[in-house]
């Protein structure tokens, strides 16, 4: 039986994630969060009258930078 058909043995036979996959996934999540927070807050400031979003912009920049650091760490650990 194939994975997804309800056979519990199929999941046990699946190959484990490669080393460093968790760091790569964390980096991708940080990239996405950084883009949404940084760009989204700037769009909200420019297109709307939402002045409170200006305080969110630095958090997006930090998340985006952390995503780059996670990517560099994953490549260095390779």
Check residues 54 and 30 and name the one with the higher pLDDT. 30
Mean pLDDT of 36-61: 88
pTM (2 decimals)?
A: 0.70
pLDDT of 59 higher than 90: yes
Residues 74, 29: contact at Cβ < 8 Å? Answer: no
- Per DSSP, 11 falls in state H
pLDDT of residue 1: 47
The predicted structure's pLDDT at residue 50: 76
């Amino acid at each position: 039986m194939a994975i997804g058909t309800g056979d519990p043995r199929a999941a046990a036979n699946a190959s484990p994630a490669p080393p460093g996959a968790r760091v790569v996934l964390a980096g991708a999540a940080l990239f996405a969060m950084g883009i949404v927070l940084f760009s989204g807050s700037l769009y909200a400031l420019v297109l709307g009258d939402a002045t409170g979003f200006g305080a969110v912009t630095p958090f997006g920049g930090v998340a985006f930078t952390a995503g780059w650091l996670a990517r560099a760490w994953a490549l260095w650990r390779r």
